[in-house]
């Protein structure tokens, strides 16, 4: 079975003290992660070391960065390199979140460079894709997402692609309380997998975890994660509430 992942994306929220208290509250609650399940915490850069320390030794629990820069090092004031993340022991980086695409103008081509440098340093990208409302209303979401995958990922070898986790996040469902129905999520996830199969073959496509993101909560996680091509979630708002996120971890398919 594919790896099932509950990933928290704190975005630009919480103070250090609030972040520590949240992780403490999550760790304190009973949650069950099977061998094929993972919990990932994408915390703000200043909290990466704290989260690494707090979660050290926890089975199948990982800390992620929410971004990185595409260059190895040098005069790029304010940016964070993948080598820096690697030196902290970070194993995942969220790339191409719609907020970065929209507010920071990250293109598919720029994201391809970030994917490359992550893989060079053995850090696994959680690559986000997903369409805005206007594209969904025009019913052209498949072509839109296919282009995102093609331009940022299809230069990779099959072996490299297998290090990538894909997160489908329809922009109209992010932070809006408006979740894609589990049928809509399944439909797009199956489409993404079929695209990957067309390019890399069925065995590779079947091995890749595809997460759903967009207003996932404890109340809808079992339904969404229960879909055959949904391998967990990338969770914003509900990941800031300990009880909610623990319930979301426990909603992963067994
Ligand atoms: P919400 O869960 O707050 O809708 O955010 C989803 C998201 O953007 C996760 O990356």
Q: Is the CB of 234 under 6 A from ligand 1?
A: yes
Let me know if 212 is exposed, middle or buried by CB neighbors in 10 A (0-12, 13-18, 19+). Answer: buried
Distance 100 CA to ligand 1 centre (A): 13
Q: Which two three-digit tokens encode residue 203?
A: 């065995």
Residue 198's SS3 state is: helix
The answer to whether 233 touches 224, Cβ cutoff 8 Å, is yes
Q: What is the value of pTM for the model shown?
A: 0.97
Distance 174 CA to ligand 1 centre (A): 5
> What would the pLDDT profile of 65-78 be if each residue is shown by its tens digit?
999 999 999 999 99
> What would the pLDDT profile of 141-174 be if each residue is shown by its tens digit?
999 999 999 999 999 999 999 999 999 999 999 8
> What would the pLDDT profile of 110-128 be if each residue is shown by its tens digit?
999 999 999 999 999 999 9
Report which protein residue has its CA nearest ligand 1's atom 2.
236
Write down the pLDDT at residue 27.
94
Report which protein residue has its CA nearest ligand 1's atom 5.
236
Distance of alpha carbon 241 from alpha carbon 95, whole angstroms = 23
Give the number of other Cβ atoms within 10 Å of residue 60's Cβ: 14
Distance 74 CA to ligand 1 centre (A): 32
Q: Is the CB of 169 under 6 A from ligand 1?
A: yes
Q: For residue 42, which atom of ligand 1 is closest to its CA?
A: 10
The answer to whether 202 touches 163, Cβ cutoff 8 Å, is no
Residue 232's SS3 state is: strand
Q: Looking at the predicted structure, is the pLDDT value of residue 26 above 80?
A: yes
DSSP letter assigned to residue 9? E
Q: Is the CB of 213 under 6 A from ligand 1?
A: yes
Write down the pLDDT at residue 177.
79
Residue 93's SS3 state is: strand
Q: Is the CB of 132 under 6 A from ligand 1?
A: no
Q: Is the CB of 179 under 6 A from ligand 1?
A: no
Write down the pLDDT at residue 178.
79
Per DSSP, which regions of 26-80 are E strands? 37-42, 61-65
Known catalytic residues?
Answer: 97, 169
Write down the pLDDT at residue 31.
76
> What would the pLDDT profile of 241-253 be if each residue is shown by its tens digit?
999 999 999 999 9
Q: Which two three-digit tokens encode residue 207?
A: 């091995």
Q: At what angle do helices 182-200 and 141-153 cross, to 10 degrees?
A: 40
Strands 37-42 and 124-129, sheet pairing: unpaired
Q: Is the CB of 214 under 6 A from ligand 1?
A: yes
Q: Pick from 200, 191, 190: which is nearest to 162 by CA?
A: 200
Distance of alpha carbon 83 from alpha carbon 18, whole angstroms = 27
> What would the pLDDT profile of 193-231 be if each residue is shown by its tens digit?
999 999 999 999 999 999 999 999 999 999 999 999 999
Q: Which two three-digit tokens encode residue 135?
A: 């594209």
């Amino acid at each position: 079975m594919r790896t099932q992942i509950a990933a928290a994306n704190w975005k630009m929220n919480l103070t250090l003290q609030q972040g520590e208290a949240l992780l403490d509250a999550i760790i304190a609650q009973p949650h069950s992660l099977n061998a094929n399940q993972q919990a990932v915490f994408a915390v703000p850069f200043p909290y990466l070391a704290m989260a690494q320390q707090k979660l050290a030794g926890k089975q199948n629990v990982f800390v992620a960065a929410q971004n990185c820069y595409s260059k190895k090092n040098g005069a790029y004031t304010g940016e964070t390199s993948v080598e820096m993340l690697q030196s902290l022991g970070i194993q995942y980086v969220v790339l191409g979140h719609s907020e970065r695409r929209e507010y920071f103008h990250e293109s598919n081509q720029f994201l391809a460079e970030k994917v490359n440098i992550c893989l060079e340093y053995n850090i696994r990208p959680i690559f986000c894709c997903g369409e805005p409302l206007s594209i969904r209303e025009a019913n052209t979401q498949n072509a839109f997402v296919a282009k995102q995958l093609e331009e940022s990922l299809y230069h990779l070898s099959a072996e490299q692609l297998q290090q990538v986790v894909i997160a489908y996040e329809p922009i109209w469902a992010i932070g809006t309380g408006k979740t894609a129905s589990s049928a809509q999520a399944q439909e797009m996830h199956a489409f993404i997998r079929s695209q990957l199969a067309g390019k890399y073959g069925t065995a590779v496509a079947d091995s890749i975890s595809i997460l759903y993101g967009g207003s996932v909560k404890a109340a809808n996680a079992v339904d969404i994660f229960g879909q055959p091509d949904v391998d967990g979630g990338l969770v914003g708002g509900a990941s800031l509430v300990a009880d909610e996120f623990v319930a979301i971890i426990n909603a992963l398919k067994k």
